[in-house]
Amino acid sequence: AMGESKEIPDFEVYTEVIQDAVIDLMESGRIKFASGCSLTVSNPCVEKIYKNLEFFKERVVLRPSEYSNNQEVVRRLGVIAINTALEADIFGNINSTHVMGTKMMNGIGGSGDFTRGAYVSIFVTPSTAKDGKISAFVPMVAHEDHSEHSVKIIISEYGIADLRGKSPRERAEEIIEKCAHPDYRPLLHEYLNNQVKGQTPFDPYNCYAFHKAFLETGDMHNVKWENK
């Protein structure tokens, strides 16, 4: 998407893993330079690199992960980090690794290094999965990899939630209205406005109601709130 946007000028990439998309955008001129610690590309892409080695050797550098993922270096360069979330809660905590909190989808990888060291840390995710039966935005994540203190911006296909400088309740409103799927917004507002007092409206009786609904019925729409 960044490569296709006419509003974004040509850019450089500082990352952990360089994949096919980076090489393609480099060929088209959108990416000027890329630094990483590994090159994990398809066989056709490898052939492309070898055929144009003179072109790519001036534009790609691989360094040990002690350098590529070093938080001090990431911060000093002013990196804008973009990572993928499996799940986000309405306060800005991110689950990057565990489906429903138990099934490991992948490791945390370099997202921890880049999120904590970045000038701006961004997470992107589709608002739903499984044909809408799973909401990527829930009252509380089932597993936390990145806390609200490290997460600055969340993006879904519905919009951009800028969480910087906002209170827990303000962050929740921002995420619900700008990122959550419209079908789930009323349920998320119900949780947020359930009369829980305090700085963060956390309800231990209902914070995992979305997950419970999916485990019991196969659809997070079927939420049943528990009375205190």
**Looking at the annotation, which residues are catalytic?**
16
- Do 48 and 97 touch, CB atoms closer than 8 A? no
Cβ-proximal residues to 199 (8 Å cutoff; 6+ apart), any chain? 167, 168
C-alpha–C-alpha distance, residues 57 and 219, integer Å: 50
Which amino acid is present at 62?
L
Beta strands in 111-228 (DSSP E): 120-124, 128-129, 134-135, 137-138, 153-156, 159-162
- Host H or E run for residue 42: none
- Do 221 and 213 touch, CB atoms closer than 8 A? yes
Q: Count CA within 13 A, CB hemisphere, residue 83.
A: 32
For 6, other C-beta atoms within 10 Å of its C-beta total 5
